[in-house]
């Protein structure tokens, strides 16, 4: 727009700068815009002095003058500086920088040039404002942490996430990126957009760049104008291209198909939000939920919550929180200073050291925790609440757009293209083909609002409106480019036809040219369409006479009835002798065929809207393949969202291992192949002969990754988390500290881990303590466990909760002791109680005996012939016993003998029962020792014996080792899970 207009012409701010007629410009002055449209600074000063010294108008209405001046200033800021154009996503300063760099030929293949040269070019020709505003805009387009898809390739110091300023423009260098040239500037000179005069009328600049992608959404934008502001988040290229393609193929191309129902040609908002679920910030981080993003996309106003990416590492003997990605537009140096102040002021507890280890490979902020009382979950929660490790992006999607009553190019009549039969009338003039094309295009598109940026108004838009607006603009630019190209092709076809016609009669043309006095006479003779006069080649006298005659007398002389146009005649006269060969004529015929093929393709783009849309889809797919990348900002989907985080995780079978030292890890079940009975096994943890007691495996279970793990501590508190949320590790890895996975304090021991696939109302949770207390609680109670956990049992002094199983009223409960006794009673006779109840006595214990294990088996009449009790001792002996051998007794009975021991020593060397598992012949057992040695074998390899038998060796155990926690893996569960895939 024009910035220096006369102050008494307020409505002119809303109109475009009209260009003078091209012919008048050539005759009067080389200016792109008339001088009368501009007011120089000197004229403004003279006018001000005149107003002051004018005695007749000594009084000026201050209110009117302020109102007029302020409105002019406000409109200048809104339309010319602060707000981006929704078509190319650029503010005027960014557009002028890119255009100036294109004019300087700073392409990706050329060398870098000083930024001061570019800034000077922009200031002197297009943007009469401060040099630092131009340089800051250039720097931002070169920063990979500010812009998702850089448009400027910077060389030198262009700042950092620590808010370090860029070096002075005399030190830095720049050039265009391939992204800028491919998506913004490649079609600039194909009459795709309109040009207007610059601030002084000596240069021309484009009103908008012919963008192939909606850069307003890809790179976002922010700006503060007068009375309004904009803040648009960046997005992922692949997601935007997917959404554009869907809108084109389903809403635009299918509308022309009469067989398609109206409901099938609309992309719903839900479908659109699945394609573009949330913004994608260049600094990565995570986005919490999609509900806020949906509100932003539906209303144009909303906020998105961002959180840093962190993980837990062990540095020496201390845990450390490592920050690797920060939220968008967060100053890392200011963040570290804020953290340090909070720690010094005792507002952040648990942090012992804070340092920045970031380098050129990425961000790494280390927060070492205190060794004793620091809970990583609590520290992180405080960091998210009190620092910018978690912050929000307040979006306000506002940009310059056409008024709603103005439709795009789709409703503008396409200008008729010149036909082949009218070639003579079109090209028989002194005007060039390109000039004809330019004037024709400007007439055809004159009614479109794209001819002037001043016809745009600030509007808030939704995601769908932004995409539709861009697609309309892209449709227009392709049509305009096609009209320009078809005009060029027709002009060349016109020339080639004239050359072919002349080459067919080349001898007569040469003879005619030899006998005429000057090129003008030759041109007129080639353009003649009347009867041909025969040339007497043998008459030297006649030739001399014609050569001496004037060009005007050539009307009565010799000429050929070729009927060429002026352009064709000039092309013939420019032919060299070497071009008169038969080979050159063949090349012209081949060129004529290629040009005709191109013309038909261009004509199809002008006649068929679907052809234009297909071209748009192909362009976007090509750009997506070249510049697209995976989403940087991961999304943590909330519970109220349509998409759950669990949908992104494959539901595989895994092994969960918990050690006595408070470490947990998850491994794929296929890591352990099935082995034979009596083998030594494979190491499954970091423990070994030299390991400490903390490395002893406490729990080892198999589950599905989508299962909920009820992790119960020995003091009767239950916590819940998904199995896939347990950090994975290798067989020999130590694992992750439990406090980083669960909100438990140091010293708490997880005594039971229960995988739950579904919280059924018909199922119960049976809990047992080391002192023989037992209780039954409905499973549905545990469906919603808060982050603080739930109290599930009240324990007596010195008692500990150790076992947890699921059961129904049709099941039986089997309790075994460490000295080989077992008691079986019906679960239905155990009355359900509340979460905080104490429970009842499970069985009577002999002196020195304790509960070894609790299992749940089918009822007396259910699967008795298929189920077995697997007895495993600590020294590696085991057997299967039929469940029929254990009669049902009342609760609180003494029990019967379940196994006898081969080692009958008394004291620490005495063998004890490690577990009583309910198995079938198709099951597999995963035995695990206290030092982390695991062996997986089939249950049917273990023989079935009587209750009083001592069993066979199922695993070789070292003298200092013992079996701690066997885990059961059912074959039918494997078969079910093998068919599951992502999202199932």
Q: What pLDDT digit, counting tens, does each position of 387-438 carry?
A: 999 999 999 999 999 876 544 333 333 333 434 443 433 333 333 333 333 3
At residue 257 the predicted structure's pLDDT band, cuts being 50, 70 and 90, is: low
| DSSP secondary structure string for all residues of 253-272 | SGGG-TTS-GGGG---HHHH
Query: Could you give the CA distance from residue 873 to residue 913 in angstroms, rounded to a whole number?
Result: 4
Is the Cβ–Cβ distance between 365 and 288 less than 8 Å? Answer: no
3-class secondary structure per residue, 678-744: CCCCEECCCCCCCCCHHHCEEEEEEEECCCEEEEEECCCEEEEEEHHHCCECCCCCCCEEHHHCCCC
| Helical pair 115-125 and 92-103, crossing angle rounded to 10 deg | 110
Arithmetic mean of pLDDT over the chain:
79
Q: Quick one: pLDDT at residue 71?
A: 78
The mean-pLDDT minimum among 235-239, 353-357, 773-777 falls in: 773-777
In the chain, % of residues over pLDDT 90: 33
647 band by pLDDT with thresholds 50, 70 and 90: low
Per-residue confidence at 284, pLDDT binned at 50, 70, 90?
A: very high
Higher pLDDT, 674 or 537: 674
In this model, does residue 590 exceed pLDDT 80?
A: yes
User: What's the pLDDT band for 675 if we cut at 50, 70, 90?
Assistant: low
CATH tag for 309-388 (out of 3.30.750.210, 3.20.20.70, 3.30.1360.40, 3.40.630.10): 3.30.1360.40
Which residues lie closer than 8 Å to 297 by C-beta, 6 or more apart?
269, 272, 273, 276, 462, 463, 464
The better pLDDT of the pair 671, 862 is held by 671
**Structure confidence at residue 710 (pLDDT):** 86
Q: How confident is the model at residue 956 (pLDDT cuts 50, 70, 90)?
A: confident
- 153 to 92, 99, 105, 137, 838: CA distances (angstroms): 20, 15, 14, 13, 70
Residue 264 pLDDT: 59
Phi, psi of 207 (to 5 degrees): -75, -25
pLDDT at site 47: 61
Fold of 759-784+797-983: Neuraminidase (2.120.10)
Q: What is the pLDDT of residue 978?
A: 36
DSSP letters spanning 455-488: G-EEEE--HHHHHHHHHHHHHHHHHHHHHHHHHH
Q: Report the CATH fold assignment for 78-207.
A: Topoisomerase II; domain 5 (3.90.199)
Q: For position 405, what pLDDT does the model report?
A: 57
Question: Given pLDDT bands bounded at 50, 70 and 90, which one contains residue 355?
Answer: very high
pLDDT interval class at 14 (50, 70, 90): very low
* Greater pLDDT, 778 or 4: 778
pLDDT digits (tens, 9 = 90+) for 29-78: 333 434 444 445 555 556 666 656 665 555 677 888 788 778 777 777 77
Q: Is the model's pLDDT at 885 over the cut of 90?
A: no
* Partners of 85 in the β-ladder: 400
Q: What pLDDT score does 908 carry?
A: 61
| CATH code for the domain defined by 488-530+560-607 | 1.10.268.10
Q: What is the DSSP string of 48-67?
A: HHHHHH-STT----HHHHHH
**More confident: 85 or 978:** 85
Q: What is the mean pLDDT of residues 921-926?
A: 83
Taking only Cα atoms into account, the Rg of the chain, rounded to an integer number of angstroms, comes to 42
Q: Which residue is associated with the tokens 């809970």?
A: 375
Block residue for tokens 């961002």: 306
Candidates 956, 911, 960, 914; CA nearest to 935 is 956
Catalytic machinery residues? 171
DSSP state of 789: -
pLDDT given for residue 761 in this prediction: 83
Nearest CA among 802, 799, 803, 779 for reference residue 790: 779
Mean predicted confidence (pLDDT) in 459-466: 94
Q: Domain segments of the chain: what residues?
A: 78-207, 309-388, 488-530+560-607, 644-673+704-757, 759-784+797-983
What's the pLDDT tens digit per position in 508-517?
A: 888 888 888 8
Q: pLDDT tens for residues 266-277?
A: 889 999 999 999
Tell me what pLDDT residue 563 has: 83
The DSSP letter of residue 813 is E
Which of residues 415 and 658 earns the better pLDDT score?
Answer: 658
Sign for the CA dihedral angle at 466, 471, 472, 474 comes to positive
Residue 198 has pLDDT above 70, yes or no: yes
**C-alpha torsion angle, residues 345, 346, 350, 352 (rounded to 10):** 40
- Would the pTM of this model clear 0.85, i.e. be above it? no
């Amino acid at each position: 727009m024009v910035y220096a207009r006369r102050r008494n012409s307020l409505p002119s701010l809303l109109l475009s700068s009209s260009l003078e007629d091209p012919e008048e410009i050539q005759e009067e002055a080389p200016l792109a815009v008339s001088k009368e449209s501009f007011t120089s600074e000197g004229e403004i000063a003279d006018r001000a002095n005149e107003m002051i010294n004018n005695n007749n108008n000594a009084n000026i209405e201050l209110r009117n003058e302020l109102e007029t001046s302020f409105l002019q200033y406000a409109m200048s800021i809104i339309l010319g500086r602060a707000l981006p154009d929704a078509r190319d996503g650029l503010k005027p300063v960014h557009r002028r920088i890119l255009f100036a760099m294109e004019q300087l030929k700073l392409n990706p293949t050329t060398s870098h040039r000083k930024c001061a040269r570019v800034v000077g070019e922009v200031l002197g020709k297009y943007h009469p404002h401060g040099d630092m505003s131009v340089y800051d805009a250039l720097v931002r387009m070169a920063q990979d942490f500010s812009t998702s898809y850089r448009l400027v390739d910077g060389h030198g110091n262009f700042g950092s996430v620590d808010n370090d300023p860029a070096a002075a423009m005399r030190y830095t260098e720049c050039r265009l990126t391939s992204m800028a040239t491919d998506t913004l500037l490649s079609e600039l000179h194909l009459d795709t957009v309109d040009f207007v005069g610059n601030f002084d009328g000596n240069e021309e600049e484009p009103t908008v760049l012919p963008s192939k992608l909606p850069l307003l959404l890809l790179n976002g934008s922010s700006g503060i104008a007068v009375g309004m502001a904009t803040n648009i988040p960046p997005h992922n290229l692949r997601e935007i291209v997917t959404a554009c393609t869907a809108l084109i193929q389903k809403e635009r191309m299918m509308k022309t198909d009469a067989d398609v129902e109206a409901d099938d040609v609309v992309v719903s908002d839900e479908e659109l939000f699945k394609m573009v679920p949330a913004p994608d910030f260049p600094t990565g981080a995570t986005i919490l939920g999609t509900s806020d993003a949906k509100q932003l996309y539906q209303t144009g106003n909303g906020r998105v919550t961002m959180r840093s990416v962190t993980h837990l590492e062990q540095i020496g003997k201390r845990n450390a929180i490592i920050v690797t990605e920060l939220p968008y537009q967060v100053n890392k140096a200011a963040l570290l200073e804020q953290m340090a102040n909070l720690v010094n002021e005792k507002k952040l507890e648990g942090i012992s050291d804070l340092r920045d280890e970031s380098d050129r490979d990425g961000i790494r902020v280390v927060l070492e925790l205190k060794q004793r009382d620091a809970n990583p979950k609590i520290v992180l929660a405080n960091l998210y609440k009190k620092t910018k490790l978690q912050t929000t992006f307040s979006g306000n999607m506002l940009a310059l757009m056409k008024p709603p009553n103005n439709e795009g190019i789709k409703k503008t009549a396409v200008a008729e293209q010149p036909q082949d039969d009218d070639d003579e009338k079109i090209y028989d003039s002194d005007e060039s083909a390109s000039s004809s094309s330019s004037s024709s295009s400007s007439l055809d598109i004159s009614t479109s609002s794209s001819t002037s940026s001043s016809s745009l108004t600030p509007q808030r838009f939704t995601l769908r409106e932004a995409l539709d607006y861009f697609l309309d603009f892209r449709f227009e630019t392709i049509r305009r480019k096609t009209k320009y190209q078809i005009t060029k092709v027709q002009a060349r076809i016109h020339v080639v036809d004239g050359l072919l016609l002349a080459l067919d009669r080349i001898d007569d043309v040469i003879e005619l040219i030899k006998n005429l006095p000057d090129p003008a006479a030759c041109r007129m003779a080639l353009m003649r369409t009347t009867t041909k006069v025969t040339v007497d080649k043998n008459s030297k006298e006649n030739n001399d006479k014609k050569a001496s005659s004037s060009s005007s007398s050539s009307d009565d002389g010799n000429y050929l009835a070729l009927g060429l146009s002026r352009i064709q005649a000039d092309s013939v006269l420019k032919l060299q002798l070497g071009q008169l060969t038969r080979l050159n004529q063949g090349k012209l015929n081949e060129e004529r065929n290629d040009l005709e093929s191109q013309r038909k393709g261009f004509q199809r783009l002008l006649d068929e809207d679907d052809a234009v849309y297909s071209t748009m889809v192909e362009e976007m797919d090509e750009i997506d393949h070249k510049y697209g990348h995976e989403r940087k900002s991961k999304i943590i989907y909330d519970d109220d969202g349509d998409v759950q985080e669990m949908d992104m995780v494959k539901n595989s079978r895994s092994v969960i291992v918990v050690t006595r030292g408070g470490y947990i890890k998850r491994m794929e079940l296929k890591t352990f192949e099935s082995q034979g009975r009596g083998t030594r096994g494979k190491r499954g943890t970091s423990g070994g002969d030299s390991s400490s007691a903390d490395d002893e495996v406490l729990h080892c279970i198999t589950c599905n990754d989508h299962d909920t793990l009820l992790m119960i501590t020995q003091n009767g508190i239950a916590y819940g988390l998904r199995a896939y949320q347990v950090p994975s590790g290798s067989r020999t890895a130590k694992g992750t500290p439990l406090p980083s996975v669960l909100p438990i304090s140091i010293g708490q021991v997880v005594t039971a881990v229960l995988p739950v696939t579904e919280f059924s109302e018909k199922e119960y949770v049976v809990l047992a303590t080391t002192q023989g207390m037992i209780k039954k609680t409905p499973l549905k109670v545990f469906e919603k466990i808060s982050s603080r956990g739930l109290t599930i049992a009240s324990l007596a002094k010195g008692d500990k909760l150790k076992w947890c199983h699921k059961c129904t009223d049709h099941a039986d409960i089997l309790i075994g002791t460490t000295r080989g006794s077992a008691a079986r009673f019906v679960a239905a006779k155990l009355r359900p109680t509340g979460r905080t109840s104490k429970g009842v006595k499970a069985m009577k214990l002999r002196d020195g005996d304790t509960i070894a294990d609790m299992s749940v088996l089918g009822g007396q009449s259910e699967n008795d012939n298929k189920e077995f009790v697997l007895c495993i001792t600590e020294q590696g002996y085991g057997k299967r016993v039929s469940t029929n051998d254990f009669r049902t007794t009342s609760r609180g009975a003494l029990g019967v003998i379940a196994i006898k021991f081969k080692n009958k020593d008394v004291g620490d060397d005495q063998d004890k029962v490690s577990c009583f598992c309910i198995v079938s012949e198709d099951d597999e057992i995963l035995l695990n020792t206290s030092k982390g040695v695991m062996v997986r074998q089939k249950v049917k390899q273990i023989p079935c014996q009587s209750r009083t038998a001592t069993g066979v060796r199922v695993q070789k155990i070292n003298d200092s080792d013992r079996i701690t926690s066997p885990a059961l893996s059912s074959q039918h569960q494997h078969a079910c899970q093998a068919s599951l895939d992502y999202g199932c």
